[in-house]
C-alpha cells in the first residue's frame, strides 16, 4: 500500500518477513507496523552484540556541551555523531578512527521489508544509528535534518523496554502526540512526517527479557 492520505484509515494486516503484524496509520507518510520485527528481535540483538565489540555505546556531547542521556553507536557506511563541533554523519567512528562496523544482514532485511510494506520499494539506507536508553534517558524534541536526501524515509525499530514516543508537527509549537512504542514495533517515517518534530519521554524503569533495563532503537537512514 502507498502511504497517502486516506489510504490507510483502518488497521491493515500484511505478510511479514515471518510472523504477524498490524499496520496503524500515524500521520501523512508515517505508519507503525506493530510487531513487525518481533520474530527477528532476538537475532537483531545477537547482531548488535557483535557491532558493540567494535563500536561500543558511548554518550556523545551536544554542540552546546551537554552529555546525551541516550548512549549511541552506529553501523553501516556512515554514522551520526555529535560533539562540540556540531551534528554530522561521519564515515569513521571518532572513538576508534575506524569505519563503523558493517550493517548486519538481519538489520537490512527488516528495514527493507518494512519500507517495502509501506510503499517505499528499493529502500537503500546507508546509515544505522543505534540508540540505547536506560531508565530516565530521554530525547528532547528535534528534527532529523542532517541527511542529504529527505525523500527517503527513516525506518525505526524498537527493542526491549517500551517508550513513550512524542510525535509533533512541522513546527516546534505543535503539541506532540504520545505514542507508546514497544519491542518489535517498526515505524516508517516518510513523506511529510519525515521532517516532523519528535522526541522520546524519559524511559520508565523495567526489566525486559531481551534487553534487561534498556530500550534499544535502530534508525535506518539515507544520510550520504
By CB under 5 A, which span of 42-50, 81-89, 137-145, 209-217 interacts with Fe ion? 137-145
Site residues for ligand MD3, 191-210, by CB under 6 A, read: 193-194, 196, 198, 200
By CB under 5 A, which span of 94-102, 138-146, 168-176, 181-189 interacts with Fe ion? 138-146
All cell numbers assigned to 14: 500484511
What is residue 220's DSSP assignment?
Answer: E
Classify residue 134 by burial, with Cβ atoms within 10 Å: 0-12, 13-18, 19+: middle
Of 159, 191, 217, 223, the one binding ligand MD3 (CB under 6 A) is 217
Site residues for ligand MD3, 113-132, by CB under 6 A, read: 129, 131
All cell numbers assigned to 17: 518477513
Of 40, 126, 144, 185, the one binding Fe ion (CB under 5 A) is 144
- Strands (E) located in 57-103: 71-76, 79-83, 86-90, 92-93, 98-99
Alpha carbon distance 147, 110 (integer Å): 21
Residue 129 contact, options ligand MD3, Fe ion, none, Cβ 5-8 Å cut-off depending on partner type = ligand MD3
Cβ closest to Fe ion, residue 40 vs residue 144? 144
User: For helices 105-117 and 41-54, what crossing angle results, to 10°?
Assistant: 130
Of 71, 75, 186, 187, the one binding ligand MD3 (CB under 6 A) is 187
- Site residues for Fe ion per CB under 5 A: 144
Amino acid at each position: 500500500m502507498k502511504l497517502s492520505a486516506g489510504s490507510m484509515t483502518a488497521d491493515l494486516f500484511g505478510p511479514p518477513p515471518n510472523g504477524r503484524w498490524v499496520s496503524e496509520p500515524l500521520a501523512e507518510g508515517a505508519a507503525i507496523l506493530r510487531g513487525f520485527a518481533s520474530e527477528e528481535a532476538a537475532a537483531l540483538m545477537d547482531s548488535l552484540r557483535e557491532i558493540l565489540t567494535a563500536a561500543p555505546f558511548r554518550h556523545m556531547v551536544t554542540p552546546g556541551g551537554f552529555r546525551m542521556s541516550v548512549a549511541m553507536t552506529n553501523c553501516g557506511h556512515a554514522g551520526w555523531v555529535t560533539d562540540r563541533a556540531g551534528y554530522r554523519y561521519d564515515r569513521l567512528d571518532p572513538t576508534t578512527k575506524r569505519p563503523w562496523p558493517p550493517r548486519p544482514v538481519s538489520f537490512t532485511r527488516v528495514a527493507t521489508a518494512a519500507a517495502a510494506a509501506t510503499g517505499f520499494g528499493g529502500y537503500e539506507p546507508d546509515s544505522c544509528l543505534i540508540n540505547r536508553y536506560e531508565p530516565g534517558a530521554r530525547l528532547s524534541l528535534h528534527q532529523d535534518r542532517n541527511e542529504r536526501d529527505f525523500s527517503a524515509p527513516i525506518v525505526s525499530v524498537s527493542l526491549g523496554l517500551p517508550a513513550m514516543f512524542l510525535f509533533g508537527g512541522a513546527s516546534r509549537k505543535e503539541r506532540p502526540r504520545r505514542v507508546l512504542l514497544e519491542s518489535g514495533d517498526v515505524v516508517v517515517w516518510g513523506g511529510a512526517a519525515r521532517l516532523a518534530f519528535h522526541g522520546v519521554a524519559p524511559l520508565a524503569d523495567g526489566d525486559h527479557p531481551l534487553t534487561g533495563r534498556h530500550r534499544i532503537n535502530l534508525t535506518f537512514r539515507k544520510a550520504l
